[in-house]
Chain A
């Protein structure tokens, strides 16, 4: 009897030191802003699997889909959970961009507790395989000769697709049309069908179309070349002096949570990003390791928001904040 008591005391003491005062006691709710199958949803489910496999959490993670308002509903939900220690959220850059243009999106990432930045998503600039453009300069040059005649398919006007366009138009002195499609599949279909001339595409999406000979990549929207595309120049190498706006994903917690809770989450996600499972996940999806701790992430918010605000205003998008 005495022995088991001692054991329990020892066990309690060891967990306490490991967890720096906080240990989750019930399942963790992971809030995402996309429906099942969306980018954040899939990331959350992959993270939950890896946490289990690498035994980083003593409890399970449950995904909560709070869709709507382009992230605004999920952010507001987290803000309402003030002080809640068993809820976290996965954010994307949309959580920063959306409050810039929508007055209704009142909660920004800055109102939540930063934990970690996890992923950077690079992108490629692709054209149809039979297009006459061999380099990015070819495309921009052709657009310059026929202003407004070439077309690009993409997402909303505040998406990275349009940001890249704005930057390239400015750097190259050209102008082309940007046509919004709500779904990624429709954007690719518009390019492959020859209805638009160019698109910004994620490497994992483009890979198979390139291999099948349907698509050609002109440049990559990244600071350094991706391992899977060693022969494709970055924007700078292609002769366009622009700073790519990163597409990011990371973790936040509700506001007003205890300090040891923040430290716990920081520790868990730091450890996650050092595991083999995580490295394999990044490689499989052709993501880049974008790890930043909470302090760096706070700084990143400011840089990202001001860069986006400037680009959007230049593009003629009305900003409200």
Chain B
């Protein structure tokens, strides 16, 4: 009942014409910056902060949050069309999204991404509305050993992302883990593998590696072919550019999986949307009846990570609004904005500012509908990009990659790094190494190492801390199971063969 009155009150705030306008401005702006690689939501929100002083705080919050979740919608566009992840959370979308585009199903991929975003984004808001305070308290029980187990579970997904050769997948993972180790060690303040380069002191930005290995590597590999490469086909007719009923049916479980996993991981202050999208991709593949389709354009492989990175938004707002604890870069800026407007974010924030909280929640329902209406008609339009001949398309991809990387950090060093990673991606394609495990190792490596070292410091060096806590024990057993299943399968085929002969 309390929720219902709160929500009624919230819609009263969010449906005021001016707030509707700001919500619209926010989601449009979010979509645009999501589409462009480079400039992400935290930078955009920080730049807009001075303007918000002229606005009523509730309207400003509605607009800034719109940018946050709007960017998640836009992020998939370049991932699917050009294999260039628009933001870190869209890297997992590249894996199957770009393959779908290559098969002439770019429209279906973009459409399913928008629908998954809408479904999961809405589920995230429902979660935020109904169970935020108890969930925030529960998330505090999650500490370093649990984070380690979560990252281990994520890393076990390598088995699922591996191509034909498990050895090559594991090697790629190890390179990813090594890349994650570059930089200044937080615990001892010593530099690791920096080769005297000041730019490497704070480590390698994984978006640079992802764009290099995925996009630049793909372009290089395709350019090598002497004869005219066949253009990516784009089917004619509006109907063929949107997801089919079968696509929606296939993605049923992916919507649920993405929504739930994204939201739960979003609530944790030490994990983010990138990890959420990879884990939900892995889970989707693990439970799929036809895992062999993943990596070759499975529609669920787009729906699950796109859903996860959208419901993560609702999840990430839980610790921020109920405890005043930011879980990601964007929520940190939103928190700073609240402080600048004179609010005191913390455990008492919601009860003392109900209009703000419920207005925000209601605006997020409205904003998600706006985004769906905004994004679906754009799908056929964006799909036309692929009609461009390769001598336009490839320079375009390279240009967007370079501009995206440079505008993130403003450093030429990162552009050289991009070139190096592109070469690495090309070699990996040539030698048939899968690139997704490398990215996975890089994404999880840093957080996993930190969590392990924090756990061991907490237990004074006893490894038992990792298995004596129920949550981490369950997750570690799951990871072990995922690792062992293929071995068991292999043994089984060998046994059957032996029986036959």
A→B interface (CB under 8 Å)? 35-37, 41-42, 45-46, 48-49, 64-70, 72-73, 76, 101-106, 148-149, 151, 156-158, 177-186, 188-190, 192-196, 204-205, 207-209, 211-212, 214, 284-285, 317-318
Q: Is the CB of A36 within 8 A of B53?
A: no
Determine which of A41, A189, A317 lies in contact with B139 in the assembled complex, contact meaning CB atoms within 8 Å.
Answer: A189
> B198 — which chain A residues lie within 8 A by C-beta?
68-69, 72-73, 76, 104-106
CB-based contact B191/A49 at 8 Å: no
Q: Which of A37, A64, A182, A209 has the most CB of B within 10 A?
A: A37
The reply to whether B326 and A68 form a contact with Cβ atoms under 8 Å apart is no
Q: Are A179 and B346 neighbours in the complex by a CB distance under 8 Å?
A: no
Q: Contact between B454 and A179 (Cβ–Cβ < 8 Å)?
A: yes
Residues of A within 8 A of B336 (CB): 37, 42
- Whether B458 lies near A208 (C-beta < 8 A) is no
Contacts A68-B411, A76-B198, A189-B269 given: A36-B333 contact, CB under 8 Å?
yes
Q: Determine the distance from Cα of A104 to Cα of B323 in the docked complex, in whole angstroms.
A: 38
The answer on a CB contact under 8 Å between A158 and B141 is no
* A46: chain B residues within 8 A (beta carbon): 340
Are A183 and B142 within 8 A (Cβ)?
Answer: no
A57 to B463, alpha carbons, bound, how many Å?
Answer: 59
Within 8 Å CB of A182, what residues of B? 186, 450
Q: Give Cα A46 to B341, complex, Å.
A: 12
* B141 adjacent to A48 (CB under 8 Å): no
Q: How far is the CA of A193 from the CA of B136 in the complex (A)?
A: 10
B187 pairs with A157, CB closer than 8 A: yes
Q: Which residue of A lies closest to B44 (CB)?
A: A36
Of the candidates A101, A183, A209, the one whose C-beta lies within 8 Å of that of B189 is A101
Contacting pair A195 B189 (CB below 8 A): no
Interface presence of B194 (CB below 8 A): yes
Instruction: Say yes or no for B190: interface residue by CB 8 A criterion.
Output: yes
On whether A208 and B46 interact (CB within 8 A), knowing A68-B202, A102-B184, A188-B325, the answer reads: no
Least Cβ distance of A296 to chain B in Å?
28
A101 to B347, CA, bound (A): 38
**Which residue in B50, B348, B460 is a CB contact (below 8 Å) of A49?**
B50
Residue B19 lies at the interface, judged by CB distance under 8 Å to chain A: no
Give which listed residue, B189, B270, B342, contacts A156 with CB less than 8 A. Answer: B189
Query: How far is the CB of B370 from the nearest CB of chain A, in Å?
Result: 25
Seen from chain B, the residues whose Cβ lies within 8 Å of a Cβ on chain A are 42-43, 45-47, 49-50, 53, 139-144, 184, 186-191, 194, 196-202, 269-270, 319, 323-327, 329, 332-333, 336, 339-340, 342, 344-349, 409-411, 450, 454, 457-458, 460
Cβ A186 vs Cβ B189 within 8 A: no
Cβ contact within 8 Å between A69 and B199: yes
CB-CB nearest in chain B for A214: B347
| Chain A residues with CB below 8 A from B194, complex form | 104
B410 to A104, Cβ gap below 8 A?
no
| Contact, CB under 8 Å: B346 / A102 | no
By a CB distance below 8 angstroms, the chain A residues around B270 are 181, 183, 186, 189
Contact A195 B269 (CB under 8 A): no
A35 touches B187 (CB 8 A): no
> Inside 8 A of A317's CB, which chain B residues have their CB?
188-189
Check A70/B184 contact, CB under 8 A, given A76-B198, A212-B348. yes
* Distance in angstroms between the alpha carbons of A208 and B346 in the assembled complex: 5
What are 9 A-B pairs at a CB distance below 8 A?
A66-B411, A105-B201, A156-B186, A181-B270, A185-B319, A208-B345, A208-B348, A284-B339, A318-B188
Q: Which residues of B contact A45 (CB under 8 A)?
A: 46, 49-50
> Which B residue's beta carbon lies closest to that of A66?
B410
5 closest A-B pairs by beta carbon, nearest first, are A208-B346, A36-B46, A37-B333, A69-B201, A193-B140
A211 to B352, CA, bound (A): 12
Which of B46, B270, B344, B457 has most A Cβ within 10 Å? B46
In the complex the two chains form, what is the Cα distance from A67 to B200 in whole Å?
11
Given A35-B42, A36-B42, A189-B140: A73 and B411 interface contact (C-beta under 8 Å):
yes
A180 pairs with B454, CB closer than 8 A:
yes
* Of B45, B186, B324, B325, the contact of A37 (CB 8 Å cutoff): B45
Identity of the chain A residue whose Cβ is nearest the Cβ of B347 in the assembled complex: A212
Taking the closest CB of chain B, its distance from the CB of A162, in whole angstroms, is 10
Structural contact, A207 and B458, CB atoms closer than 8 A: no
Which B residue's beta carbon lies closest to that of A46?
B340
**Contact yes or no, B269 A185, CB < 8 A:** yes
Q: How far is the CA of A105 from the CA of B189 in the complex (A)?
A: 12
A residues less than 8 Å from B409 (CB atoms): 67-68
Chain B residues whose CB sits within 8 angstroms of the CB of A195 once the complex forms: 143-144, 458
The smallest C-beta distance from B189 to any residue of chain A, in angstroms, reads 5
Q: Which residues of chain A have C-beta atoms less than 8 A from B143's C-beta?
A: 190, 193, 195
The distance from the CB of A104 to the nearest CB of chain B, in whole angstroms, is 5
Chain A hits for B50, CB < 8 A: 45, 48-49
Q: A102-B184, A182-B450, A189-B319 are in contact. Are A209 and B346 (CB under 8 A)?
A: yes
Known A-B contacts A41-B46, A179-B454; A207 and B347 likewise in contact (beta carbons under 8 Å): no
Bound form: Cα–Cα A189–B200 in Å: 29
List of A residues within 8 angstroms of B49 by Cβ: 45
Q: Tell me, in angstroms, the Cα distance from A69 to B409 when the chains sit together.
A: 12
